Structure 1
Amino acid sequence: MRYGILGTTQAHTDDGRPVAVGGARLRALLAALALHPGRGHASGTLIDLVWADEPPADAPGALQALVARLRRALGAGAVESVAGGYRLNARPDDVDLHRFQRLADEGERSLADGDPVKAAALLDDALALWRGPALSDLPGHEALVARLDARHLGARRVRLAAAVALGDPAGALPELAELCADHPLDEPLQALRLRALRAAGRPAEALAAYEDVRTALADRLGTDPGPELRALHAELLGGGGAGPC
């Protein structure tokens, strides 16, 4: 069985057939279990995650009934009882969140090792797993969701860097422009855009983009661009406009 929590909570058989999970409580329970597949979750923790501030009068009994419904939906062996709670009988790679993290890590390492072709393939597979806001059926995880969103943005940035390294800076620029507009203070992202503009033979636009970033950092944070952006700016001023990235 495969599980998806990068968006609405889903379950699929190994051959890709969707499994009807059920209502909001069942989806929340499955999402909570899938956060740490193969690991036991205390009943009290699951109750807090599924019902938040409005637990039923007989919360342990309600959780037991919910687990029974989830087993009927997924199969009797999908959710196992452990001391004091339950666990999802699955491997990390059976859950899209953990598969995304593995693929994204491998893609980043491949690019760092000088293999943009492999990096692009791995990151395409990772990014294809995202179907919407992570953990959308499991409220109360704002800090985790923010970290996952940042990880998603990082994977997109590395995929675009792979595109630039593969000789397609022009193809990467539309998405880079959109991401930079949404994240004007993200210096690594802004630096990648400058490199892509330079590689695409558009140094004047790269210089203008640097000024935009410099102004945004000064106005919002009261700081100057960091060393990477300053070095790129110096290269552009020194005539390195069409050099390699």
Structure 2
Amino acid sequence: MKSLAVRVLGEFGVDGVEPQALGSRKARLALQHLALGAGQVVPSDVLVDALWEHDPPARPGEQLAVLMSRLRSVLGKERIEHRDGGYLLRADWLDATELAALTDEAERRQGAGNVTGAAAAVRVALSLLDSAGSVPVPGEWARLRRGELDRLISRARRVAASALLAAGDWVGAVDAATAALERDPYDEVALRLLLRAYVLGGQAAAALSRYAAARERFADELGADPSPETAELYL
């Protein structure tokens, strides 16, 4: 059976399979939801709500079964299982699962003092994030799952910045921390990593400038100051 690799961190895709080969827009959307399930059962009512929203067919279960049958004809009949209450996708590789494993491994290595190994792990993790971004997916279930992925991406970038900083790669640390802050401008862990990385690279003025910009943003948008830990680092 041919290996099945699926990507959900950015634009949804199946390696080696053109999008049009998966069938209709609804078929692709159904498969995307199954991929977001990461090997867990996705309830049929979740799929129906996402595919037909406020205008479901007379027999949505039958229509859903037809879509799944068409997807099996492309991916292999063993790839999509029908379980009580829903469907699940059996993929050999999922970029989100790989990212989580690499991030955990990097943290473990860094905690054990293996700075070089941690840096190697996060560099592979960052390669998975080249095209990552928030991609709108219909349905409340998918939005919640997408939120989990966004948090994973932010965590991976913070861990990457920390590991690269420990390894002396201040440029890589700056890039990772900056990307984390672009997703969440209020992420003070990423901000502190960015300030430290600039200082390691001899860019103290850039560090002070970034802190001043963050403090202004916090005051204007939150009516608050950066945390004492961030302010202490600035001082």
TM-score (norm 1): 0.78
- Within the alignment, does 1:3 sit opposite 2:6 as a pair? yes
The answer as to whether partners of 1:29 and 1:50 remain within 8 angstroms in 2 is yes
- In the alignment, what sits opposite 1:61? 62
Render the CA deviation track for 1:157-216: whole Å, top value 9, x for unaligned. 322222222222245435645654664422112111211122122334433333332232
Render the CA deviation track for 1:134-177: whole Å, top value 9, x for unaligned. 565x4223343233223212312322222222222245435645
Return 5+ residue gaps in structure 1 as ranges.
235-245
State how far apart, in whole Å, the 2-side matches of 1:173 and 1:38 are: 34
- In the alignment, what sits opposite 1:27? 28
Q: 1:155 to 1:37 in 2, by over 3 A?
A: closer
Match of 2:225, SS?
Answer: coil
Alignment coverage as a number of residue pairs: 227
State how far apart, in whole Å, the 1-side matches of 2:49 and 2:120 are: 39
Q: Which deviates more from structure 2 when the two are superposed, residues 175-184 or residues 201-210? A: 175-184
How far off is 1:110 after superposition?
2.5
The answer as to whether partners of 1:31 and 1:135 remain within 8 angstroms in 2 is no
State how far apart, in whole Å, the 2-side matches of 1:208 and 1:37 are: 41
The answer as to whether partners of 1:4 and 1:96 remain within 8 angstroms in 2 is yes
Return 5+ residue gaps in structure 2 as ranges.
none
Structure number with greater Rg is: 1
The answer as to whether partners of 1:9 and 1:30 remain within 8 angstroms in 2 is no
State how far apart, in whole Å, the 1-side matches of 2:147 and 2:39 are: 24
State how far apart, in whole Å, the 1-side matches of 2:68 and 2:182 are: 44
State how far apart, in whole Å, the 2-side matches of 1:194 and 1:80 are: 49
Using the aligned pairs only, state the percent identity: 35
Q: 1:35 to 1:230 in 2, by over 3 A?
A: same
After the TM superposition, which residues 31-180 of structure 1 pair with which residues of structure 2 at under 5 Å, given as runs? Answer: 31-90=32-91, 94-130=93-129, 131-133=131-133, 138-140=137-139, 141-173=142-174, 176=177, 180=181
Instruction: Tell me which amino acid in the other structure corresponds to 1:223.
Output: A
State how far apart, in whole Å, the 2-side matches of 1:175 and 1:57 are: 49
State how far apart, in whole Å, the 1-side matches of 2:135 and 2:203 are: 40
Instruction: Tell me which amino acid in the other structure corresponds to 2:202.
Output: G
Q: 1:50 to 1:134 in 2, by over 3 A?
A: farther
How far off is 1:39 after superposition?
3.1
Spell out structure 1 runs of 4+ moving beyond 4 A.
174-183
How far off is 1:2 after superposition?
2.0
State how far apart, in whole Å, the 2-side matches of 1:142 and 1:172 are: 30
Match of 1:18, SS?
Answer: coil
Q: CA RMSD for the aligned pairs?
A: 2.7
State how far apart, in whole Å, the 2-side matches of 1:41 and 1:203 are: 50
How far off is 1:71 after superposition?
0.7
The answer as to whether partners of 2:42 and 2:86 remain within 8 angstroms in 1 is yes
Match of 1:80, SS?
Answer: strand
State how far apart, in whole Å, the 2-side matches of 1:84 and 1:219 are: 48
